[in-house]
A and B are shown apart, each in its own frame.
Chain A
Amino acid sequence: MKLIKKTIPLAIVFVFGILTLLTYYVPHKHSVDFLETMNKWENIVTAFAFFLGLISLFYAHSTKISRKADGWGYSLFVFVGFLAIIIPAYISKGKNMNGAELTWMGWAFQYIYNPLSATMFAVLAFYIVSTAYKSFRIKSLQAFVLFVAAMFLILGNVPLGQIIWDKMLGWTGYNISQVVDWIMHVPAVAGKRGIMIGISIGAVVTALKIIFGIERQYLGKD
Chain B
Amino acid sequence: MLKDKLNAVLKIDRRWIFLALTVVLFGAIIHPLGLLSKNIARDTQNAYEFMDKIPAGSFILLDLDYDPSTAPELSPQAMAVARHAFRNNLRVGVVTYSAGATGLIEQLFAVVPGEFKKEYGKDYVILPYQPNAVAVMTQMASDLYGIYDKDKDGKDTRSMPVMKGIQNYKNISLVVCIAGTSITDIWVAYVGDKYNVPFIAGVTAISQPGYGPYLQKKQMRGLLGGMKGAAEYEHLIKTPGKGSSGIDALSLAHVMVAALIIVSNIAMVILKYL
Chain A contact residues, CB within 8 Å of chain B: 32, 35-36, 39-40, 42-43, 46-47, 95-97, 99-100, 105-106, 109-110, 113-115, 117-118, 120-121, 125-126, 128-130, 132-134, 136-138, 147, 150-151, 154-164, 175-178, 180-181, 184-185, 188-189, 192-193, 196
Instruction: Give me 16 A-to-B residue pairs in the complex whose CB atoms sit less than 8 angstroms apart, sorted by A's number.
Output: A96-B106, A117-B69, A118-B72, A132-B261, A150-B261, A155-B255, A157-B228, A157-B247, A160-B35, A161-B251, A177-B39, A178-B39, A184-B212, A189-B216, A192-B213, A193-B213
Known contacts: A43-B132, A189-B212, A193-B213. The answer to whether A160 contacts B39 by CB under 8 A is: no
* C-alpha spacing A130/B256, complex, angstroms: 11
A116 to chain B, nearest CB (A): 8
What's the Cα separation between A117 and B104 when bound, in Å? 13
Give bound CA distance, A161 to B37, whole Å. 10
**Which listed segment binds A: B57-65, B77-85, B138-146?**
B138-146
> A114–B209 contact, CB under 8 A?
no
Chain A positions within 8 Å of B254 at CB level = 154-155, 157-158, 160-161
- Please choose the segment from B10-18, B48-56, B156-164 that sits at the chain A interface, where 4 or more of its residues have CB less than 8 A away: B10-18
Chain B positions within 8 Å of A175 at CB level? 39
A215 to B81, CA, bound (A): 45
User: Which residue of chain A is the closest to B11 with respect to CB atoms?
Assistant: A134
Check B33–A160 contact: CB distance below 8 A: yes
Complex: how many Å from CA A136 to CA B260?
10
A96-B102, A133-B264, A184-B209 known; A158 and B138 CB under 8 Å?
A: no
CB pair A46–B42 under 8 Å, yes or no, is no
Secondary structure at the B interface, as helix, strand, loop or mixed, is helix
Interface centre among B10, B35, B212, B255 (most CB of A within 10 A): B212
State the 9 A-B residue pairs at the shortest beta-carbon distance, nearest first.
A39-B135, A177-B39, A160-B251, A159-B35, A189-B212, A109-B103, A130-B14, A97-B106, A117-B68
For B146, B260, B268, which residue has the most chain A Cβ atoms within 10 angstroms? Answer: B260
Are A132 and B260 touching (Cβ within 8 A)?
yes
In the complex, what distance in Å separates the CA atom of A117 from the CA atom of B69? 6
| B270 at the binding interface (Cβ < 8 Å) | no
Question: A76 to chain B: closest CB distance in Å?
Answer: 24
If over half of A's interface residues share one DSSP class (helix, strand or loop), that class is named, otherwise mixed; here it is helix
Q: How far is the CA of A157 from the CA of B226 in the complex (A)?
A: 10
Within 8 Å by CB of A100, from B17, B18, B110, B256, lies B110
**Chain B: which residue is nearest A40 at the CB level?**
B135
Residues of chain A contacted by B260 (CB below 8 angstroms): 129, 132-133
A42 to B103, CA, bound (A): 25
Q: Does chain A have a CB within 8 A of B237?
A: no
Contact status of A126 and B212, CB under 8 A, knowing A147-B261, A158-B250: no
Is B27 an interface residue, CB under 8 A from the partner? no
B210 CB–A CB distance under 8 Å: yes
In the complex, residue of chain B having the shortest beta-carbon distance to the beta carbon of A189: B212
Q: In the complex, what residues of A have CB within 8 A of residue B138's CB?
A: 32, 35-36, 39
Chain B positions within 8 Å of A178 at CB level: 39
Q: Which A residue sits closest to B223, measured CB to CB? A: A184
A159 touches B36 (CB 8 A): yes
Q: Which residues of A contact B18 (CB under 8 A)?
A: 126, 129-130
Does B8 sit within 8 A of A, measured CB to CB? no
Given A117-B67, A134-B264; A177-B41 close (CB under 8 Å) = yes
Please determine whether B107 and A96 come into contact, CB atoms closer than 8 angstroms. yes
Query: CB < 8 Å: which of A120, A136, A155 contacts B265?
Result: A136
Residue B257 at the chain A interface, CB threshold 8 Å: yes
| Contact between B37 and A162, CB atoms less than 8 A apart | yes
Assembled-state Cα–Cα distance A180/B100 (Å): 32
Q: Is the CB of B68 within 8 A of A160?
A: no
Query: Is B71 an interface residue when CB atoms closer than 8 A count as contact?
Result: yes
8 Å CB interface, B216-246 against A: 216, 226, 228
* Contact of A36 with B139 in the complex, beta carbons under 8 Å: yes
Instruction: Given A97-B110, A126-B18, A154-B254, check contact A43 B131 (CB 8 Å).
Output: yes
Query: Is there contact, CB below 8 Å, between A126 and B258?
Result: no
Closest to A106 in B: B103
